[in-house]
Amino acid sequence: MEQPEGTRTYALIDARPRAIVIHCSDPRFQKAFDEFIREGLLLEEGEYIPLVISGGVASLSEPLKLPKEFKFMKERIELFLERYSELKRIVLINHEDCRHYEQLKSVLGRLFLQRVRSIGEKQTNDLKIVAKMLLGYAVPGLQIELYYARFCPGETHAVTFEKIPL
Ligand SMILES: [Zn+2]
């Protein structure tokens, strides 16, 4: 079908994703996430599937308390792994001052911070829990990387990405 004259078109790119990157949708952090993905993770557009959802991995870390969210996320990841055979890398990013985590804390109450002292500790724990769960998938050579975006000392307008050991 012919485009009416003057219609703006939008180009797609050839995508051969070899990674999934899961991070929070907090608008304050998107630019930092994008730059980190390109410069820190060395992934260009089309080379990764962004799975952007409030709270990042929070939805995957509580299969018993948040079963619907867990199922939704897990099925998406399984589908991507099935569809793209070159997908061998999953990057999980959590960030400081996450409002979704704050909200979960008020919804789930004391249960939410069982066995941890702070939300930050809960978030880095969650990264490791979700990594273990994902490594249980039968994908040979699947590599998981964990990062925590932390405010630079004394400010709330810049972050560094701290690598969290598995
Ligand atoms: Zn967040």
Q: How far is CA 18 from CA 84, 88, 89, in A?
A: 8, 6, 6
Number of domains in the chain: 1
Among 94, 72, 74, 81, residue whose Cα is nearest residue 22: 94
How far apart CA 67 and CA 86 sit, in angstroms, is 29
What are phi and psi for residue 140, nearest 5 degrees? Answer: -60, 135
* Distance between Cα 59 and ligand 1 center (Å): 12
Q: What is the CATH number of the domain that holds 141?
A: 3.40.1050.10
Residue 85 lies inside a defined structural domain of this protein: yes
Residue 127 lies inside a defined structural domain of this protein: yes
* Distance between Cα 160 and ligand 1 center (Å): 15
Per-residue pLDDT of the chain (166 residues; tens, 9 = 90+): 677 888 999 999 999 999 999 999 999 999 999 999 999 999 999 999 999 999 999 989 888 888 999 999 999 999 999 999 999 999 999 999 999 999 999 988 888 888 888 999 999 999 999 999 999 987 889 999 999 999 999 989 999 999 999 9
How far apart CA 88 and CA 20 sit, in angstroms, is 9
Question: Which residue segment(s) compose the domain that 44 sits in?
Answer: 19-164
**DSSP for 70-133, written as a single string:** HHHHHHHHHHHHHH-TT--EEEEEEETT-HHHHHHHHHHGGGGGTT-SSHHHHHHHHHHHHHHH
* Distance between Cα 123 and ligand 1 center (Å): 10
Residue 5 lies inside a defined structural domain of this protein: no
* Distance between Cα 130 and ligand 1 center (Å): 16
How far apart CA 49 and CA 18 sit, in angstroms, is 8
* Distance between Cα 82 and ligand 1 center (Å): 28
